[in-house]
Each structure stands twice: as structure tokens, then as C-alpha cells.
Amino acid sequence: MSRTNISHHFHLKRKFTAGEAFNESIDDVHRGYTTDEPAEVIITYAGVEGQALSEPYTS
């Protein structure tokens, strides 16, 4: 079974398995990755037309 991991800049880790839903983290540096198998994630964004959905992290 594939697992998707989300690592946050503040060292918080959450693990999700097939069928689970989660909210996208906002205003927080984070990275998603899988362990032993690929994962398919369906994402829906709500935003303003012409406005970027994300910004690159700069330290």
C-alpha cells in the first residue's frame, strides 16, 4: 500500500494512506513524498485568476 508523507518546515510529519483526505498546508514550507510505491494525489485549488498558487521558498 502506498503512503504519502508530508514533511513541514517546522519538523511536523503527517502520514496518509490510500483513501485519506487532507487539506493543503498554506503559509508553511512543506514537501510531499512517497515511500515504496508511487501515489496518485488529486488536488483542487481555489484562488484568484492570474494570481500564483504558490511561491518558491527563499531563506
Cβ contacts of 4-7, under 8 Å, gap ≥ 24: 4/32, 4/33, 4/34, 4/39, 4/41, 5/32, 5/33, 5/34, 5/35, 6/30, 6/31, 6/32, 7/31, 7/32, 7/33
Identify the segments of the chain with pLDDT beneath 50: none
Write phi, then psi, for 32 (nearest 5 degrees).
-105, 145
Answer whether 0.75 is exceeded by the pTM: no
Question: Longest C-alpha distance within the chain, in Å?
Answer: 38
pLDDT on residue 49: 93
pLDDT on residue 50: 93
pLDDT on residue 33: 77
